[in-house]
Amino acid sequence: MPNDPNPIPGWLECIARSGYRLTAPRRAIVDIMASSDRALEPLQVYDLGRQSCPGLGLVTVYRTLEKLEELGLIQRVHQPNGCHTYWRAACGHEHLLFCTACGRAVHFSGDNITPLIEKVSNQTHFTIQDHWLQLFGLCPQCQQNNL
Amino acid sequence: MPNDPNPIPGWLECIARSGYRLTAPRRAIVDIMASSDRALEPLQVYDLGRQSCPGLGLVTVYRTLEKLEELGLIQRVHQPNGCHTYWRAACGHEHLLFCTACGRAVHFSGDNITPLIEKVSNQTHFTIQDHWLQLFGLCPQCQQNNL
DNA sequence: CCATAATTGATAACGTTTTTCAATTATAAA
DNA sequence: TTTATAATTGAAAAACGTTATCAATTATGG
Ligand SMILES: [Mn+2]
Ligand SMILES: [Mn+2]
Ligand SMILES: [Zn+2]
Ligand SMILES: [Zn+2]
């Protein structure tokens, strides 16, 4: 399912299979989160969502984002200037690369920090269970705009 | 200055040299932040600070943490369950390893992700300017306690 | 010691997130 | 198709972490 051109049916199925109901607000939020090319804050999801689901409430956005995160479909994104955004979750072992100018995000894979983890574990006597790696930069479009 | 057994004088000098005044609240907060072995939230700094500086206000904690971060003496720490804590800043190019049980933190160095950055940059056409790396695990003490 | 501007703590304001609750609605059973 | 049920909803209020305001205090240099 990596780079699925239309992940929305899969997300809806995941929601239903988990025993949650498929409602208009949830469909609207899934549409937005599954297809956005950048990380979004709850208020942005709310504004976008009201275009297709006019009565949508902000509280429902928070609740739905929480559920999508719990189902592993989206993940919270941490940035130097705040940690209030969400983006679709990685498939397998991938990390995030962000454009600091526009928020556009991509996943990448291929980090090999196992030797480093081994070394740090030996030096510190910590058991290391997880790691975060994030790259920050400028996307091609924003490089153009900053010329 | 790495692993300075007593970094407090250096922090105070840094504050004074930057044109800021040395006050009792600031000394109390510097004492706490320079010697803590774990990341602390503002409210924790406040509670600890009032032990040696009874009149200390929470607002002063926020203002002082902001200043220490601006001076590069402390840094905000991002964790899966919140990004409200601060810890002393790294010396040079270092990253953080956290105990998920007790919050104890250590710096480590020696990551070499330059080849990865090169590869991802070529694949994505992003210009990559910065990176975050954090390791999560269990410190020796917490491994003992969980036996 | 004095003059001055920086700093302080109390208070109020702020924006984000969570809780509460009655009304609505998706779903499965009849 | 209808009905019963519990899940879900949006509005309102509350809670939370953080920031702005302001008069009183205090560190600093002269
Ligand atoms: Mn990795
Ligand atoms: Mn590095
Ligand atoms: Zn961009
Ligand atoms: Zn620990």
Structure confidence at residue A26 (pLDDT): 98
Structure confidence at residue B3 (pLDDT): 63
- Interchain CB distance below 8 Å, B116 and A111: yes
Count of beta carbons in the 10 Å neighbourhood of residue A135:
24
> Could you state, in order of their start, the residue ranges of all structural domains in chain A?
8-88, 95-145
Number of the ligand closest to the Cα of A39: 3
Structure confidence at residue A41 (pLDDT): 97
- Interchain CB distance below 8 Å, A136 and B132: yes
Residues of A in contact with B130 (CB under 8 A): 135-137
Average pLDDT per block of 10 residues along chain B, 147 residues long:
79 97 98 96 97 97 98 93 92 91 92 94 96 95 89
**pLDDT class of A3 with cuts at 50, 70, 90:** low
- Interchain CB distance below 8 Å, A111 and B113: yes
Tell me the residue type at A106.
V
Q: Do the Cβ atoms of B65 and B44 come closer than 8 Å? A: no
Residue A146 above 60 pLDDT? yes
Structure confidence at residue A136 (pLDDT): 95
Question: Looking at chain A, which runs of residues are DSSP E strands?
Answer: 74-79, 82-88, 95-99, 105-108, 127-138
Residue A48 above 90 pLDDT? yes
Overall CATH class of domain B95-145: alpha beta
Fold category of A8-88 in CATH: Arc Repressor Mutant, subunit A (1.10.10)
pLDDT averaged over chain A?
Answer: 94
Strands A127-138 and B127-138: antiparallel
How far lies B111's CA from each of A79, A109, A127, B95, B144, in Å?
A: 20, 17, 18, 8, 28
Please state the separation of Cα A75 from the chain's center in Å. 4
Q: Choosing among A107, A116, A128, A129, which should be mutated to test the B contact, i.e. which has the most B CBs within 10 A? A: A116
Query: Greater confidence, A22 or B82?
Result: A22
Q: Do the Cβ atoms of A110 and B116 come closer than 8 Å? A: yes
Query: Greater confidence, A31 or A92?
Result: A31
Residue A1 above 70 pLDDT? no
Structure confidence at residue A58 (pLDDT): 98
Query: Greater confidence, B80 or A57?
Result: A57
